[in-house]
Structure 1
Amino acid sequence: MGVPSALCLAWALALGCAHPLIPPKPEAAGGGTPHGAEPPSNDTALAELCEDEGGFDAATLTENGTMVFFRGLEVWESAPGGGELRSRPLATSWPELGGPVDAALRLHHREPPQEHPQEPQETPQEQQSLFLFQGDQVWAYAGGRLRPGFPRRIEDEFPGVPGGVDAAVECHREECGGEMVLFFKGDTVFAFDVALRVAKPRSWPGLGPCGAALRWLGRFFCLRGPRFWRFRPPAGELPPGYPRDIRDFFIPCPGRGHGHGNASWGAAGDRCSAEPFQALLSDDSGQVHAFRGNVSFRLDSWRDGLHPWPLAQVWPGLEGEVGAAFAWDGRVYLIQGSQVSAFLPERGPRRVLGYPRALQDELGVASADAAFTCPGSAELYVIAGDRVRRVDLRETPRRAGEPLLLPHNGVDAAMCTRDGVILFHGASYHQYPSVGQLLGARRPAPPRSIAARFLHCPQ
């Protein structure tokens, strides 16, 4: 197994995502364990990490969506606000292990569809387990505590999987055809069927061995030494453009890739700061994207963490701030000043050929402070100042309707979901059950906290 580590994974490559908004329990913060004190920041250790040519021993997401990397007797993870990396001794959180980890795995049970996916209904700890592998044994934790009956032999918990695995990662029905766990040992991949409790060996010669494996927002990564590959189950296909250097994406190293951009994030990269968002959108698949400064957040992904990522890495080719955003007909539209770009979100956002285009030509408006479409509707509402104009996206050419008065004298962003229309201003949001009730309101709806509702920040 290998060695660097750290967290704040900004994967400039392919993104994807989804999952309902459910806040983590307070005791799960910082890795999902009840053990130990707040891990200290260590600039010297991070600098040494950035000079290292080794690799990770293991990597996974914890029960509360924190990304964790294991290296010898140390663990690296992101700070609560994102961006900064902190290290702590392995024994601080998992004293039962007594030695380095070979592989790590977060395994969660799938939840039934929720009527209101943005409203917290149950805690992730009740649905998930964290498995840590060492030699021929495995430890399982739930809610940060060792589960009864563990440690166990790996072959007893995962029949057909040998001891001494190099890496492990969960793979869901839409990705692997069933609920699976992929175990890596040398050049062999053991696909373990969670329901049938059987493992089948596979060969993915193009991928090779993995020192650590990670699933993040529906994308799969194999880490080996200082490099990583993205792969696609169930056949292990490799998209072009790999390998890439871990230190440009997984580690916030000064002057390099993701870390270089991170240095200029400031309060914009701290999800719990009072900095306003310039744009939000809920797309056709239920993904919620938020834009602030030069970073982008995914707000529907509690299982994978609410981390900030450099704007250009998430939305290739995009430069500068996003002022408004909306989704329609399988595309995401991002407005910047007098221009608009369209992206196809499938298999990682990619810009549609022919964009950016002039906002006036595309939508029939000259500017936009905010914009939104509601689920299943082709009607776009564009807000500028205290007025909103309706645009029928099915028309060619598109024309904006007469401006209608809003009960707000300017907003930062807007979004429409099955729960209604949500307008954002400063650190607060205002919610209306429908467009009609928004337009008929004489005064703003009561303000509520953006940080508490959408970012799961402590009160």
Structure 2
Amino acid sequence: MKLLTHTLCLCLALVLALPYSYEQNDNNELHHDHHVLDRCQGLEMDAVALNEHGIPLFFKGDHLFKGFHGEAEMFNESFAELDDHHLDHVDAAFHMHFEDHPNHDHMYFFLDHKVFSYHHHKLEEGYPKEISEVFPGIPDHLDAAMECPKPECEEDCIIFFKANDIYHYNVKTKAVEKKEFESMPNCTSALRFLEHYYCFHGHMFSKFDPKTGDVHGKYPKEARDIFMKCEKFSEHSDHVERERCSHVHLDAITSDHGGNMYAFRGHHFIRRDEGNDTLTANTLDHAFKEIHSHVDAVFSFNDHLHMIKGDKLYIFQDDEPHALMDGYPKSVKEELGVEGPIDAAFVCEDHHIAHIVKGNHIFDVELKASPRVAENEQTISLFEKIDAAKCDSSGVKVFVGSHFYHFNSTMEFVAARALPEQHRISVELFGCDH
């Protein structure tokens, strides 16, 4: 009996020591409890790839994280047949994005000597296959993979990584060129995003030239600073650089009466001073302590910042320190005549109309009226949802994901049928190099 008790205690201790907890489904199958996985703890991802909508997927064990924030989910929820083959992780993954290639928009997953090909989240007939059959000349047990279109590479190719070896696989001729990228660390996963190339190693990353492997600038850097939306960051993080260069979408953006810009993301915001373009970063909890974190929309009116979070409106003085006005917060419905939450809000220069965006609908609120009423409802043609918007003397900037779009007026924004030129937030708004 003592031996049995000792054995049971040992087994329990081993289970508690595992990095993931487990839950049992109706079929008595054990699955990882995805709530245990926290990307902000510095996980080393097994693979990273864009999906067909350009959203990064981060793979860890039999889970994946979609985009830059949110909890993990089982990868068989998106790629069901992987479970049929008892995959508990993938070695590498990439999205084939060459429009003239027969397998355009396919996603490939690699494990050991096998490759899986998915189209619209369905496993292609005949897969999995041997890697050597689909990609002749490419070794088994890969570390990472990524696509590289011409002219960013000499020809349209897939770059495969295994330890110190790098293989450029020509997707048209199937020729393989083996290279050594001496200045690069060994990649545990790799990603092409916004025409830049990233090698992840542990929870760090380096940006590199896909032709030569050269790494320019101060690398490695924290992946959590740029590719994740986390409350807390490494003590070694440069907070201004993180907010400048992050690819995570903005929650809200506005300019105060002095022309100083405020851009909000998660628990942090970045301020750019008018005239000298100085950038500073701070936490909402420090500067707007009643908000704590995560605002839905912000607009400036009458020398005050109007900050919307859920169904509440907070009004702060836009001069520092940002004091909350007496009596606030109040309900968005009471103050603006529209139910919260909302997606974006902006007021154009020297005007007193707040433009309120919910989904693909926009309302006008006369801020000098009492009571205020949301009226003139219109449908936005180009976007189902936006993240943020601001208006100044140059027109309206609309923020979606990692990009923004410029329109000459609110009317043009609402009525437009074709997307204007796409601008990168990190590069063109904040002067980051990627």
Cα distance in 2 for residues equivalent to 1:146 and 1:162: 22
Cα distance in 2 for residues equivalent to 1:101 and 1:181: 17
Cα distance in 2 for residues equivalent to 1:41 and 1:85: 11
- Superposition deviation, residue 146 in structure 1: 1.7
The answer to whether the 8 A contact 1:181-1:193 is kept is yes
The answer to whether structure 1 residue 226 and structure 2 residue 203 are counterparts is yes
* Residues 430 and 76 of structure 1, relative CA distance in 2, 3 Å threshold: same
Q: Counterpart in 2 of 1:337?
A: 274
* Residues 64 and 96 of structure 1, relative CA distance in 2, 3 Å threshold: same
The answer to whether the 8 A contact 2:143-2:163 is kept is yes
Letter in 2 for 1:45: L
* Residues 221 and 89 of structure 1, relative CA distance in 2, 3 Å threshold: same
The answer to whether the 8 A contact 2:145-2:189 is kept is yes
Structure 1 residues 427-452: Cα deviation after superposition (integer angstroms, max 9, x where no partner):
xx426xxxxxxxxxxxxxxx438999
Which of these residues, 61, 65, 75, is aligned with residue 64 of structure 2? 75
Q: Counterpart in 1 of 2:141?
A: 164
The answer to whether structure 1 residue 211 and structure 2 residue 211 are counterparts is no
Unaligned runs of 5+ in 1: 5-39, 113-124, 279-290, 297-307, 312-318, 322-335, 342-382, 387-409, 432-446
The answer to whether structure 1 residue 138 and structure 2 residue 138 are counterparts is no
- Superposition deviation, residue 216 in structure 1: 0.9
Q: Counterpart in 2 of 1:320?
A: 271
Q: Counterpart in 1 of 2:71?
A: 86
Q: Counterpart in 2 of 1:301?
A: none
The answer to whether structure 1 residue 58 and structure 2 residue 47 are counterparts is yes
* Residues 86 and 207 of structure 1, relative CA distance in 2, 3 Å threshold: same
The answer to whether the 8 A contact 2:116-2:127 is kept is yes
* Residues 214 and 292 of structure 1, relative CA distance in 2, 3 Å threshold: farther
Q: Counterpart in 2 of 1:422?
A: 407
Q: Which structure 2 residues correspond to residues 198-347 of structure 1 after superposition, within 5 A?
A: 198-256=175-233, 293-294=262-263, 320-321=271-272, 337-338=274-275
- Superposition deviation, residue 94 in structure 1: 1.8
SS of 1:320's partner is strand
Q: Counterpart in 2 of 1:287?
A: none
- Superposition deviation, residue 337 in structure 1: 3.4
Rg (Cα) greater in structure: 2
Cα distance in 1 for residues equivalent to 2:71 and 2:218: 30
Unaligned runs of 5+ in 2: 1-18, 20-32, 279-347, 352-389, 398-405, 423-434
- Superposition deviation, residue 111 in structure 1: 7.0
Cα distance in 1 for residues equivalent to 2:238 and 2:57: 17
Letter in 2 for 1:167: A
CA RMSD of aligned residues (A): 4.6
> When the two structures are superposed, what TM-score results if normalisation uses the length of structure 2?
0.51
- Superposition deviation, residue 68 in structure 1: 0.9
Cα distance in 2 for residues equivalent to 1:66 and 1:109: 17
- Superposition deviation, residue 85 in structure 1: 2.0
SS of 2:137's partner is coil
- Superposition deviation, residue 244 in structure 1: 1.7
SS of 1:430's partner is helix
Cα distance in 1 for residues equivalent to 2:214 and 2:188: 18
> When the two structures are superposed, what TM-score results if normalisation uses the length of structure 1?
0.48
SS of 2:151's partner is helix
Q: Counterpart in 2 of 1:184?
A: 161
The answer to whether the 8 A contact 1:41-1:85 is kept is no
Cα distance in 1 for residues equivalent to 2:64 and 2:349: 48
* Residues 454 and 77 of structure 1, relative CA distance in 2, 3 Å threshold: farther
The answer to whether structure 1 residue 45 and structure 2 residue 45 are counterparts is no
- Superposition deviation, residue 184 in structure 1: 0.5
Q: Which structure 2 residues correspond to residues 388-427 of structure 1 after superposition, within 5 A?
A: 412=392, 413-414=394-395, 422-425=407-410
The answer to whether the 8 A contact 1:179-1:195 is kept is yes
Count how many residue pairs are aligned between Structure 1 and Structure 2.
Answer: 264
- Superposition deviation, residue 293 in structure 1: 4.0
Worse overlay, 201-210 or 244-253: 244-253
Which of these residues, 111, 123, 132, is aligned with residue 155 of structure 1? 132
Cα distance in 2 for residues equivalent to 1:101 and 1:73: 8
Letter in 1 for 2:126: G
The answer to whether the 8 A contact 1:160-1:200 is kept is no
- Superposition deviation, residue 133 in structure 1: 0.7
SS of 1:294's partner is strand
- Superposition deviation, residue 233 in structure 1: 1.7
Higher relative contact order (CA 8 A, sep 6+): 1
